[in-house]
Amino acid sequence: MPSASLLAARAALHAHLQRHFPEQVIDELPGVDGPIAERVPGFRVLRVHPREPGGWWVYVTSGCWAATQEGGHGAEFFLAAPRDDWLNRESLTVNAYYHCGPDHQRLDVGHTVPIGRPWLDDSACDHYLISLPYPYGPDFEVWTWDETDHVRLLWLLPITKAEKDHRHEHGLEALESLFDEREIDPVDPYRSSVV
């Protein structure tokens, strides 16, 4: 049975998503099969359906905060995608498993993680950049409930290996500047690398 803190966090997350995606369907899915339940008991993925055809699908972890929070402060992650696909759930499950491992594996803004395959189809994007949720703004990033507990919602942004290398050589700001200059579509699996 999920803990009271997990249930409270999940309810707060669901309410937060409903405020940011009014009148959109939000459903709850299990993570993909594997060892996630050992590390993140009660792990789920909240899936936000697009408002209209062609809109973004948004997938959000639920359980990372409860598994790793310190003093009420922790993180969850989201991935935006062009379509509903099992691979998006797999990505969130794998990243949650990694993040909720030993302390030295905690993910934060600027970190990059390998996907181990193309993001979708034969995309050149095969890494994720942990980023601020720029498409949705600072109100989407952080919210508080119970006066002390708060969650930071971070973006898994698909990037190429060349972009990952550029971030490590030149810093996060340099890579984000290139994304802005080239006006990338962050949910296009076929977008060209900016590097």
DSSP 99-162: HTSSGGG---TT-EEE-SS-SSTT-SEEEEEEE--TTT-HHHHEEEETTTEEEEEEEEEEEEHH
Instruction: Answer yes or no: is 191 within a domain.
Output: no
Report pLDDT digits (tens) over 121-169: 999 999 999 999 999 999 999 988 777 888 999 999 999 999 999 999 9
Instruction: Answer yes or no: is 53 within a domain.
Output: yes
**Res 1: pLDDT:** 58
Cα 35 to Cα 80, 100, 147: the distances in Å are 24, 12, 33
Report pLDDT digits (tens) over 12-50: 899 999 999 999 999 999 999 999 999 999 999 999 999
- Mention every residue, 6+ apart, whose C-beta is less than 8 A from residue 185: 191
pTM, two decimals, is 0.95
CA of residue 141 relative to chain centroid, distance: 11
Cα 159 to Cα 11, 23, 39: the distances in Å are 31, 30, 27
* Alpha carbon distance 131, 155 (integer Å): 5
pLDDT above 80 for 9: yes
Pairing type for strands 149-160 and 44-48 reads unpaired
Instruction: Answer yes or no: is 63 within a domain.
Output: yes
With contact defined as beta carbons under 8 Å apart, do 157 and 129 qualify? yes
Instruction: Answer yes or no: is 187 within a domain.
Output: no
How many domains is the chain built from?
1
The larger pLDDT score, comparing residue 184 to residue 2, is at: 184
Question: Which residue type is seen at 128?
Answer: Y
Instruction: Answer yes or no: is 102 within a domain.
Output: yes
Report pLDDT digits (tens) over 42-95: 999 999 999 999 999 999 999 999 899 998 899 999 999 999 999 999 999 999
Pairing type for strands 73-81 and 149-160 reads parallel
**Res 68: pLDDT:** 92
Instruction: Answer yes or no: is 194 within a domain.
Output: no
Instruction: Answer yes or no: is 13 within a domain.
Output: yes
**Res 195: pLDDT:** 96
**Res 157: pLDDT:** 98
pLDDT above 70 for 2: no
With contact defined as beta carbons under 8 Å apart, do 172 and 39 qualify? no
Instruction: Answer yes or no: is 62 within a domain.
Output: yes
Q: Which of 40, 39, 95 is nearest to 63 (CA)?
A: 40
Q: Residue 164 sits in which domain range? A: 4-182
